[in-house]
Structure 1
Amino acid sequence: MITSKHDAPHPSAVDDLYDEADHWHVNTGGQTIHAKRIEGRWRRIKWLTASVWLIYFLGPYLRWDGQQAVLFDIPNRQYHLFSTTVLPQDFWMLSLLLLFFAILLAVVTALVGRVWCGFFCFQTVWTDIYTLIEEKLEGPPPARRKLDQSPISLDKLRLKAIKHALWLLIGFLTGFSFVSWFTDAPTLWTTFFVGEANGAAYITVALFTVGTYVLAGFLREQTCFWLCPYARIQGVMLDTTTIVPTYDRARGEPRGRVRRDVAGEGRASGDCVDCNQCVAVCPTGIDIRHGQQEGCITCALCLDACDQVMDKVGRPRGLIRYASLDELEGRPVRNLLRRPRVWVYSTILLLSLSGILYGLTAIAPLELKALHERAPLYVLLSDGSIQNRYTLKILNKSPERLAVTIRVSGHDDLTLVDAGKPVMTEPGGVTPTTVFVRIPKRALAAEQQGIVFHAEAIRDTGLRVEAERESVFVGPRP
């Protein structure tokens, strides 16, 4: 828990930062933080953003064309995204995807601080759910502290057993859902509980169960303080234009209790009534009145708490609000479009996203490679024809077995040996086949002649798929 002493009033927002770090004290795990839960605008937003994780739990059960819509089939090295199958050959898109999310995190942090940590991070969301269960069973923070300090009793054991059982159940569902993305989810429910699932599935579910239980149930904010690197990485991305939850010291100081019969203009104190509600609701236990700190995950719950207190004492909202240092110091707030880093980040985002979209739309169900035989380069047949040998490698990216027909173009007199004979290709695999191309010697006008191999197939849906590859036909010098 981050605690602090009351610091002396200070008139300038710049001078307010002079010794904030001197007042910080980071809880190293010696005290359990029981944050107060209150309703409000930002709490509702947190629940809405946290609901994004329902995709994690429900996504594996979405069906598409009779199979799992999104399936990362690692054993077969196939990654099915609805009607698109991505193979290792197309994994260059993964680099662009990772770049996209890395830059997205950077630009969001530069603009509005650690909103990922406060609203989307799985550690924050899971901890929020765990503490919600804890409150429903054990009561508000004072009751929970009292229960923790009370001696062992049957009632205490009953509450603790139910709580930890629910925590373990959520951890199990977390691990089970993770495995479901890598195997057929309905089948996993059948095989897992009868001991027929893959050994890796049991190990993964066990690790996720224990990990979720420990991280969200016990470590909580300690994970953010000591285990997560983003707290430090994102901290250096903030500048004076970044909008973060901020205490308006010029308006709030000096702190003092308020009486309803005292007129606002005659107050000797600032708007902060020193109720400490902003500290009580903070999931990491910091005091936002001492500025931005390592423990602040910008969840904005302190904004809800302060606004409710301001409403009760008849003072304007916004004593704690999202604001930048420039705004607090009275400097002009720069427009987003006038910030160089926004343009740089946006350009990288656009390029990486364009590459991903191009890759997904350009993925063809068939890929063809043609390797010319070099020993010998050509053979002179008894009928006067020149014959070249090629090894064709057909990559079938579709989820079904395809009968692929090969044809060649590029010369009016060329002949493909055994033309029309289909090549059976397995889904997600490369099928090699050898073909021979012949051209009469008299019809060759050059030592090398460009030709094009075409691979065609018809899928079960009736859709025709094709691929082509340029190559060269080699003959003797005319």
Structure 2
Amino acid sequence: MNETPSRSSGAAIDDLYAEAHHWEVNTGDETIHAKRIPGKWRRIKWFAASVWLIFFLGPYLRWNGHQAVLFDIPDRQYHLFGVTVLPQDFWMLSLLLLFFAILLAVVTALAGRVYCGYFCFQTVWTDVFTWIEEMLEGSPPQRRKLDKAALDARKLRIKLTKHALWLLIGFLTGFSFVAWFYGAWPLWRDFFVGEANLVVYASVALFTGGTYVLAGWLREQVCFWLCPYARIQGVMLDQSTIVPTYDVARGEPRGRVKKDETSEQRSTGDCVDCNQCVAVCPTGIDIRNGQQEGCITCALCLDACDTVMDKVGRPRGLIRYASLDEMEGKPVKPMLLRARVWVYTAILALALTGILYGLSSLAAIELKVLHERAPLFVQLSDGSIQNKYTLKVLNKSEQDLRVEISADSAIPISLVGADEPLPTTRGEVTPMIVFVKVERSDLDGERVPLTFKATAEFDDGTEITAERESAFFGPAR
């Protein structure tokens, strides 16, 4: 039996369709030429984007004569400021990914798509590309006029220069990415003389083409159609999330400024319908129609609106960071009283604690001890009891080491097979078989605690050690 929706639910659906009807979703049929206006949020945006300088300059930072951060995949070693992380320690990577995932969620819940607006590589690279475009082609009206103009020598020169610069930035992006894994100076040495491997050239080419296409041609289309975050961020927001918002009660009804009109005579709201908030939007949406999928919360519309309000002598903040609760006149719940903030903070703290513990507990060598189980022990012809052990020494340092093995226990023991230091190769596990003998008369139980110790010395004289607890087994008394 079919049921007819109630009148109230039908009205709610109509309201939803009416709101969506005003959304601006560019399907790629036009090129958005956003206007660039200076202001507070533009400065913050450039400052946040400057974090990506680490991506370009980081591979050239040195530490103790080596590249400070190097993800050496062929040798399965990851060097972080003198600390070498091997695949065995990659549990820390899981915690790091968890940390950033939760950080992204909590920031989105509190202040919307801050990552998209200020830090996302797509946003930053597109902003740089469009800045170059404006330097060469002029203001948005001039760019639109040039796009429609017939191809001549001037247009060809400008377009070729622009696309050459875009490709250069794309190449530097790919080259810098590979430098984190290959080594910056070896890459400069090998790349241009043809000695780098095929993977290096393919990676640089892929990043060059990808950056050129995504930031130069697709631009906001990536945010609309390719980025999964734009699709899921809606479920992370709530009534208390602070996002760029248009104050409808103050701004409506819109109307142009009339000459010599006093505030008492004015019958319109503060919005003068100048459309500057739309002109500066990199995705081409109209923030006055409410929050939309295309809004990346870059806050450039705030700068545009404040500039206009200053010119017409009206208060700033017609478009401002605010929550939906605030706009509807509801009480705003303090951030510290929100349950999800405490849950997110606890997860962040646990993940960060685990990462710091892992980094602080990393040692240059790691020792593992495997006790022979079949047989658990043997009795020698002289009556003594012998256990067999397989030692595995992992050399996490950046140089080959000679490791001395010793053993200690509360009872007298004899270590056999460890008279000479064990040569170990950096980044590799070296096995070693040793035997421990105990006089039967010295055994005071079936199981006696035993500690193995590995000791090595660096070229500079620094001594490092690693210990591992094990046990010695004997017959029942």
Structure 1 residue 17, shift from structure 2 partner:
8.0
The answer as to whether partners of 1:407 and 1:420 remain within 8 angstroms in 2 is no
Is residue 2:86 matched to residue 1:75? Answer: no
Task: Tell me the SS of whatever aligns to 1:182.
Answer: helix
**Counterpart for residue 151 of structure 1:** 150
Per-residue deviation, residues 220-257 of structure 1 (Å, max 9, x unmatched) = 00000000000111122111100000000100011111
The answer as to whether partners of 1:456 and 1:466 remain within 8 angstroms in 2 is yes
**Counterpart for residue 201 of structure 1:** 200
Q: Residues of 2 paired with 1:238 and 1:378: CA distance?
A: 64
The answer as to whether partners of 1:400 and 1:426 remain within 8 angstroms in 2 is yes
Amino acid of the structure 2 residue aligned with 1:426: T
Is residue 2:135 matched to residue 1:163? Answer: no
**Counterpart for residue 431 of structure 1:** 430
Task: Tell me the SS of whatever aligns to 1:330.
Answer: coil
Residues 32-41 or 20-29, more deviating: 20-29
Amino acid of the structure 1 residue aligned with 2:319: I
Structure 1 residue 419, shift from structure 2 partner:
4.6
**Counterpart for residue 4 of structure 2:** none
Q: Residues of 1 paired with 2:362 and 2:375: CA distance?
A: 35
Task: Tell me the SS of whatever aligns to 2:79.
Answer: strand
Per-residue deviation, residues 201-220 of structure 1 (Å, max 9, x unmatched) = 00000000000000000000
What does residue range 61-460 of structure 1 map to in structure 2 within 5 Å?
Answer: 61-460=60-459
Q: Residues of 2 paired with 1:246 and 1:197: CA distance?
A: 51
Compute the TM-score of the two structures, normalised by the length of structure 2. 0.95
Amino acid of the structure 2 residue aligned with 1:138: E
Structure 1 residue 401, shift from structure 2 partner:
1.2
Per-residue deviation, residues 273-307 of structure 1 (Å, max 9, x unmatched) = 00000000000000000000000000000000000
Compute the TM-score of the two structures, normalised by the length of structure 1. 0.95
Amino acid of the structure 1 residue aligned with 2:249: A
Sort the Cα spacing of 1:16 and 1:41 in 2 relative to 1 into closer, same or farther, 3 A.
Answer: farther
Sort the Cα spacing of 1:17 and 1:300 in 2 relative to 1 into closer, same or farther, 3 A.
Answer: farther
Structure 1 residue 380, shift from structure 2 partner:
2.3
Residues 291-300 or 443-452, more deviating: 443-452
Q: Residues of 2 paired with 1:207 and 1:458: CA distance?
A: 44
The answer as to whether partners of 2:418 and 2:434 remain within 8 angstroms in 1 is no
Q: Residues of 2 paired with 1:260 and 1:446: CA distance?
A: 103
Task: Tell me the SS of whatever aligns to 2:182.
Answer: coil
Q: Residues of 2 paired with 1:87 and 1:180: CA distance?
A: 19
Per-residue deviation, residues 33-92 of structure 1 (Å, max 9, x unmatched) = 000011111001000000000000000010101111000011111111011111111111
Is residue 2:46 matched to residue 1:47? Answer: yes
Amino acid of the structure 1 residue aligned with 2:414: T
Q: Residues of 1 paired with 2:16 and 2:311: CA distance?
A: 29
Q: Residues of 1 paired with 2:468 and 2:325: CA distance?
A: 59
Q: Residues of 2 paired with 1:115 and 1:58: CA distance?
A: 24
Q: Residues of 2 paired with 1:442 and 1:252: CA distance?
A: 95
Cα RMSD (Å) of the superposition? 1.4
**Counterpart for residue 474 of structure 2:** 475
Amino acid of the structure 2 residue aligned with 1:433: M
Q: Residues of 2 paired with 1:391 and 1:322: CA distance?
A: 63
Amino acid of the structure 1 residue aligned with 2:407: V
Task: Tell me the SS of whatever aligns to 1:19.
Answer: helix
What percentage of residue pairs aligned between the two structures are identical? 71
The answer as to whether partners of 1:109 and 1:115 remain within 8 angstroms in 2 is yes
Structure 1 residue 463, shift from structure 2 partner:
2.4
Per-residue deviation, residues 350-377 of structure 1 (Å, max 9, x unmatched) = 1111111111111111111111123333
**Counterpart for residue 3 of structure 1:** none
Q: Residues of 1 paired with 2:420 and 2:146: CA distance?
A: 79
Amino acid of the structure 2 residue aligned with 1:315: R
The answer as to whether partners of 1:17 and 1:291 remain within 8 angstroms in 2 is no
Task: Tell me the SS of whatever aligns to 2:185.
Answer: helix
Task: Tell me the SS of whatever aligns to 2:236.
Answer: coil
Structure 1 residue 381, shift from structure 2 partner:
2.4
**Counterpart for residue 12 of structure 1:** none
Task: Tell me the SS of whatever aligns to 1:266.
Answer: coil
What does residue range 31-42 of structure 1 map to in structure 2 within 5 Å?
Answer: 31-42=30-41
Q: Residues of 2 paired with 1:116 and 1:260: CA distance?
A: 42
